[in-house]
Amino acid sequence: MVLLNLFHLALGLILLLALLHMVVRIVRHFYKFPMPYFMANLIDHPLRRLIQPPDTTPLRHGIEPGMTVLDVGPGNGTYTLATARRVGDEGKVVAIDIEPRMMERVMRRAQAEGITNIEARVGDVCDLPFDDGAFDVIYMITVIGEIPSFEDALRELRRVLSPSGMLAFSELFPDPDYPWASTLIRKTTMLGFKLKKKIGNFFYYTLVFEKD
Ligand SMILES: C[S@@+](CC[C@H](N)C(=O)[O-])C[C@H]1O[C@@H](n2cnc3c(N)ncnc32)[C@H](O)[C@@H]1O
């Protein structure tokens, strides 16, 4: 009897969470805005690091030592630091976030870890303060779903990507802004990119594009 009650309680909780997730997704579909700053800690936890290990993420994005990389929307910087370690002293990571406090946090963490090859910028992906063709790789981890104008963002990303460069998106399912991989492929390929590789599964996938 107790077991049955516990089972019903767990089922109710799961259904409630699923419903809440669905409602937030519907709202976010129509009303997009950057993740609030107070959530920066919430998205950095051991379970996420287990599913999306920081050290292997740069490999998914095709990042090699010596590259110049753009991290759009680094948030608390967990993946920025891992990417900076991957590109090494000969390379560089430029991180740009629309929320200045995120950038302060990234730089505090970089300083604490003695990482010196990260440059921090505050700005909007739809209006990037960089020269044409400046980056070998550009990546966004659970960011693209927050951007109100996909077309404007992609136009800017294409402009600042080098002719042989790669644009990578990594997405995690519990994110309320999670885009379906097929939708992201369709929309990105309509804007001058072609899919180079798709890695992962429904819950955690990475798409890597190059210029068409
Ligand atoms: C869900 S967080 C992801 C953080 C980090 N990439 C990660 O996966 O842990 C999204 C980040 O994108 C940033 N962001 C949202 N809209 C942006 C925009 N238009 N331009 C630049 N950054 C943006 C937010 O401020 C936030 O730091």
Give the E-state strand segments of 40-133 in sequence order: 68-72, 92-97, 118-122
pLDDT of residue 206: 98
Q: Are residues 183 and 81 in the same domain?
A: yes
The model carries a pTM of 0.93
Mean pLDDT of all residues in 132-160: 97
Q: Do 14 and 45 fall within a single domain?
A: no
In the chain, the percentage of residues whose pLDDT exceeds 70 is: 100
Is the CB–ligand 1 distance for residue 64 below 6 Å? no
Given CA atoms 171, 173, 175, 180 in this order, what sign does their dihedral have? positive
pLDDT beyond 90 at 30: no
**Do 48 and 27 fall within a single domain?**
no
- Using DSSP's 3-state secondary structure scheme, residue 179 falls into coil
Q: Find out whether the beta carbon of 110 lies less than 6 Å from any atom of ligand 1.
A: no
Q: Which domain holds residue 94?
A: 35-211
Same domain, 138 and 202: yes
Clarify whether residues 19 and 48 are in a common domain.
no
Same domain, 94 and 14: no
Residue 110 has pLDDT above 90, yes or no: yes
Mark whether 135 and 66 lie in a shared domain: yes
Number of domains in the chain: 2
Q: List the one residue out of 75, 82, 78 whose CA is nearest residue 58.
A: 82
Average pLDDT over residues 60-66: 98
Look at residue 177 in the predicted model and tell me its pLDDT. Answer: 93
Q: Is 142 in the pocket of ligand 1 (CB under 6 A)?
A: yes
* 125 ligand 1 Cβ < 6 A: yes
Confidence at 118, pLDDT banded by 50, 70, 90? very high
Pocket flag, ligand 1, residue 152 (CB < 6 Å): no
CA of 109 from ligand 1 middle (Å) equals 17
Same-domain check for residues 146 and 64: yes
pLDDT at 89 (0 to 100): 95
Task: Say yes or no to pLDDT of 199 above 90.
Answer: yes
State mean pLDDT over 10-34: 87
* Averaged confidence pLDDT in the chain: 95
| d(CA 40, ligand 1 centre) in Å | 10
**Average of pLDDT values for 127-146?**
98
- What is the structure's pLDDT at 48? 93
Q: Do 96 and 201 have their domain in common? A: yes
* CB 75, CB 40: distance < 8 Å: yes
pLDDT of residue 115: 98
Ligand 1 pocket, mutate which of 42, 44, 146, 171 (most atoms under 8 A from CB): 146
CATH of the domain at 74: 3.40.50.150
Task: Answer whether 102 contacts ligand 1 (Cβ < 6 A).
Answer: yes
In short, whether 171's Cβ falls inside 6 Å of ligand 1 is: no
Question: What is the arithmetic mean of pLDDT over 160-179?
Answer: 95
Do residues 83 and 119 lie in contact, with contact meaning Cβ atoms separated by under 8 Å? no
H/E run at residue 210: strand 204-211
- Ligand 1 pocket test, candidate residues 52, 81, 143, most atoms within 8 A of CB: 143
11 and 61 part of one domain: no
φ/ψ region of 52 (left if φ > 0, alpha if ψ in -120 to 50, else beta) reads: beta
Instruction: Categorize the per-residue pLDDT at 28 as very low, low, confident or very high, splitting at 50, 70 and 90.
Output: confident
- The DSSP secondary-structure symbol of 38 reads G
Q: What gap in Å lies between CA 196 and CA 211, rounded to an integer? A: 9
* Local confidence band at 147 (pLDDT 50, 70, 90 cut-offs): very high
For residues 95 and 110, state if they share a domain: yes
